[in-house]
Amino acid sequence: MTAVTFASPERRRRPASEFARRLNKAAGMALGFLIIVLGILVAPLPGPGGVPIITLGLILVLRASTGAKRLFIRACHRWPRTLSPIRRLLRRNSPFVSIVWQMMLRMEKFVTRGNGLMAGWRRSLKRRRTA
């Protein structure tokens, strides 16, 4: 046996029953859709509160559904720059806080053309780091 055989994910996990696997996927999709609906309800409030919530719901749905993954891959080929933060969030051990911060800055720059509140916070953080 090689080291690759011992390191394979199938070796590390206990095999779950088919029913448990399907139940887990159904629960993930249901929770994802519930979070998306919550994000849509929060979206009209001031600030970008709905965007991160909807993104979290989409991530849960993408992890549970192969059909949604196919649609997401097609969308990634069509709009790669827009969907790159979501792709980065789907990776294992992704730096969640920095990705969400970059998404918020990008959204703020799009809405206010770079002269908003978060741009001032970013400048003050840069000054503190260099000082």
DSSP string, 82-127: HHHHHHHHHSTT--HHHHHHHHHHHHHHHHHTT-SHHHHHHHHHHH
Do residues 33 and 69 share a domain? yes
Residue 1: the pLDDT is 46
Residues 35 and 53: their CA atoms lie apart, in Å, by 7
Do residues 43 and 15 share a domain? yes
Name the DSSP letter for residue 13.
S
Do residues 99 and 83 share a domain? no
Do residues 47 and 105 share a domain? no
- Residue 64, classed as helix, strand or coil, is helix
Do residues 56 and 115 share a domain? no
Do residues 113 and 87 share a domain? no
Do residues 7 and 70 share a domain? yes
How many domains are contained in the chain?
Answer: 2
In terms of residue numbers, what domain contains 16? Answer: 3-91
> Positive or negative, the Cα torsion across 76, 81, 83, 86?
positive
Residue 113: the pLDDT is 65
Do residues 51 and 16 share a domain? yes
33 token code pair: 């859709």
Residue 115: the pLDDT is 61
Do residues 118 and 74 share a domain? no
Residues 77 and 86: their CA atoms lie apart, in Å, by 13
Do residues 44 and 72 share a domain? yes
Do residues 71 and 23 share a domain? yes
124 token code pair: 């003050």
Residues of the chain with pLDDT under 50: 1
Do residues 71 and 34 share a domain? yes
Residue 14: the pLDDT is 63
